[in-house]
Amino acid sequence: MTKLGGLFHRWQRNRNASIFTSKHYCACTYVAVLVPQKAFQVEEEYHDKAKYCPPPLGMVIISILEIILFCCDKSLRTASNVKGPISVLLLYDPTKRYQAWRFITYMFVHNGEFHLIVNLVVQLFLGITLEVVHRWWRVLIIYLAGVVAGSLVASICNPEVILVGASGGVYAILTAHIASIIMNWKEMEYPFVQLLIYLIITICDIGSAIYERHISPTSSGVSYTAHIAGAVAGLLMGINIVRNIKVTRSEIVIWWLSIVLYIVLMGVAIVWHIAGKTYFPVQND
């Protein structure tokens, strides 16, 4: 009876393993490059760090809201006004800084379909892969931190700027991947290669934004300072809250440095906005 019980237990364990493999194969393949690979060697670690059911929906919900608001705003536009009432209410307007929600809600306003589609593609592809391992609420905090940092810094660098788009949040997600690599360096396979890829993407994109704004004959009006601020916020906030599979002493030092630097930078930006009333345009009711 004991032998039969052992055989049954082994059969059941193999059966569960095959079900687990088939159920998670696609999702595992999707994030295979982005998740610390050595963690996958231990099933308990994998189970604890990555969940695919229910699927990560944070970035999906944000993206759906952006699509709905864009379509509604476009349908409400008139011939005499290129911006609809939703855009006017949500975009960051330097003459209405007292309406504090604009420092966040400008992410729901986009300059045309192409601007919207590019942001959606990048934030869904990069955001979902982060949500699988680090959970949706962590990714959402990083995303919003990039959005807020983008509006605060861009408005300080250019007090007259009007901001639309979610690029600050998108760049925050991009550099959060870099933070995940830094904090899980020893658990990653080929961490240097992955880090180099993300750094090249970030630098090239910010560089192209600077070129289009200051060098190109036809300026695009892109606020690259919002991109840079979002990227820095995503990196610092990502180091603070992404999951760290195995904490080392050096990573603890990096964690403290990042959180202190983030608090100082955000504190300076917030105080500047509160105290520097004469620096910004006159507020309109």
Q: Give CA–CA dist 56/50, Å, rounded.
A: 10
Arithmetic mean of pLDDT, 41-57: 53
Which of the given ranges, 18-22, 40-44, 254-258, has the highest pLDDT on average? 254-258
- CATH superfamily of the 36-275 domain: Rhomboid-like (1.20.1540.10)
Average pLDDT, the chain: 79
Other beta carbons within 10 angstroms of residue 158's beta carbon come to 14
Active site residue 227: yes
In the chain, what's the furthest Cα-to-Cα distance?
86
Question: Do 124 and 63 meet the contact criterion of CB atoms below 8 Å apart?
Answer: yes
The catalytic residue among 167, 180, 223, 258 is 167
Active site residue 180: no
Please write the tens of the pLDDT for every residue from 115-174.
899 889 889 988 988 888 888 889 999 999 999 999 999 999 888 888 998 889 999 999
> In the chain, pLDDT over 90 holds for what percent of residues?
33
Determine the pLDDT at residue 153. 93
**Before 54, cis peptide (omega within 30)?**
yes
**Among 232, 56, 37, residue whose Cα is nearest residue 142:** 232
Arithmetic mean of pLDDT, 250-255: 90
Cα distances (Å, whole numbers) of residue 271 to 56, 92, 186, 264: 36, 18, 39, 10
Arithmetic mean of pLDDT, 88-113: 91
What does the domain layout of the chain look like in residue ranges?
A: 36-275
The pLDDT of residue 92 is above 60: yes
The catalytic residue among 155, 227, 258, 273 is 227
Q: Residue 156 has which token pair?
A: 């300080």
Question: Do 170 and 122 meet the contact criterion of CB atoms below 8 Å apart?
Answer: yes
Residue 217 banded pLDDT, cuts 50, 70, 90: low
Determine the pLDDT at residue 277. 80
For residue 107, which amino acid is it?
M
The pLDDT of residue 84 is above 60: yes
